[in-house]
Amino acid sequence: MTDVRPFRALRYARSELSDVLVPPYDVITPDERERFWSGDPHHAIRLELTRDANAEAGTDYADVAAMLRDWQRDGVLARDASPALYGLAQRYRGPDGAERERRGFFAALGLAEYDERVVLPHERTMAGPKADRLKLLRATRANLSVIFLLYEDREGVVDAALAKAFDGPPVAEGADPAGTHNTLVRAADPQAVEPVRAFLAERPVVIADGHHRYETALAYRRENPDDPAAALTLAYFANAFSEGTLLLPIHRVILKGSAPAPDAWPRLLPEWSCTELEAGDAQAIPELLERHLAPLGPAAAFVADDASGTLRLFRRNQDVPGELAIRTLHREVVGGAFGLDEDAVRDGAVAFPKHALLAARDVREGRGAVALYVNPLSPDDVFRVTRAGELLPQKSTLFQPKLPSGLLFRTLDEDPA
């Protein structure tokens, strides 16, 4: 199944990377964009995004290709002499304040079409971002950001194979803008590489983040069927069932429409029971959710917050057999109660704050009508849905920590290992 290969990474010649790491391109705010561009002259943002967002539509990224060549010529970037897998240890604090570490690895991934059921998607993509990333790939012939993949390894086989490499000296490290400390190691010993390759060869992987980048790589391969380097892309692999891999909820804020009157909820949601909770200010919301919503786990349940001072905890009288709670929410609440279909959601009728506090502030400051707080999915949920060939509603998963760009790159002009 999954084709994992060592490769010769192109990396910063410096070993301390804190000044050049950048978040994934699609989560960078306008203010962050300018701040990163104004920072280190070799910041990885310069390989990802134009300084002015309005310039993206007209650029062909020839300047990025030239910059990539110049940085290699000037010794800013250097390619490793031999192929390897690259282990990454990320130390970070979760929302509960506890320190965690996730270990994973970078490799060249053999591309497979979705219908081959090797690389499994969980969400739909949009044409615009793919067109932009394809321009960048054509111009640079390089994978400058990474696709984040999950595999299932409940016994820790991959961690055991890479343990010796993680015990060795790092080749680079640095704190990214999110505060995560990243430590990069090389794993070139066949006794480490081959067990990892053999393990992944027997199972599929799920895209956690990077659907647009993966589909861009597929499009480039179709354009270049005789180029073996185009049949691979840069990917990061993490164990979905590791304690260091967090799967967090993404909440919903209804932007289009108004909050239902208190006596309208029973009519809109006749299959749901409601418990009213007294709400304090926005700061109190996360603790209330932890106390009242979190214990319901995978059940079809959510909390509605219209900033009135009363939270409404809804629990469906009977769960829909075999259906994830997030699907039920979108069908019966977002679609049924608020009348917003998938097209309306894609067109911006719903916002997706990644923290309950942000959602609470949005509705209290007039940036939305109602916040819908949800529980997270589990890794088992994600694998079950993707193996069945199904997709989740938009923005259903948030895996932490995020992967920064700038730790390493893969150029297509190096021979596949």
Residue 79 belongs to a domain: yes
**What's the N-to-C CA distance of the chain in angstroms?**
18
Please give the pLDDT value at position 394. Answer: 85
Please give the pLDDT value at position 415. Answer: 45
With CA atoms as reference, report the closest residue to 306 among 250, 371, 358.
Answer: 371
For residue 305, how many other CB atoms are within 10 A of its CB?
30
Please give the pLDDT value at position 416. Answer: 41
Question: Alpha-carbon distance 381 to 118, whole Å?
Answer: 18
With CA atoms as reference, report the closest residue to 377 among 360, 390, 368.
Answer: 390
Please give the pLDDT value at position 48. Answer: 95
Residue 392 belongs to a domain: no
User: Phi/psi at 50 (nearest 5 deg)?
Assistant: -65, 155
Please give the pLDDT value at position 124. Answer: 82
Please give the pLDDT value at position 96. Answer: 83
Residue 382 belongs to a domain: no
Query: Which residues of the chain are under the pLDDT cut of 70?
Result: 414-417
CB 144 within 8 A of CB 409: yes
Residue 394 belongs to a domain: no
Please give the pLDDT value at position 26. Answer: 83
Residue 390 belongs to a domain: no
183: its two tokens: 């430590």
Claim to verify: residue 281 and residue 243 sit in the same structural domain: no
Claim to verify: residue 177 and residue 303 sit in the same structural domain: no
Claim to verify: residue 36 and residue 105 sit in the same structural domain: yes
CB 105 within 8 A of CB 85: yes
Please give the pLDDT value at position 417. Answer: 41
| pTM of the complete model | 0.92
Task: Specify the amino acid at residue 149.
Answer: L
CB 202 within 8 A of CB 134: no
Claim to verify: residue 86 and residue 159 sit in the same structural domain: yes
Looking at the structure of the chain, the number of domains it has is: 2
Structural domain of residue 304, as residue ranges? 250-375
Please give the pLDDT value at position 22. Answer: 96
Residue 395 belongs to a domain: no
367: its two tokens: 């940036």
Claim to verify: residue 127 and residue 190 sit in the same structural domain: yes
CB 340 within 8 A of CB 254: yes
Claim to verify: residue 197 and residue 260 sit in the same structural domain: no
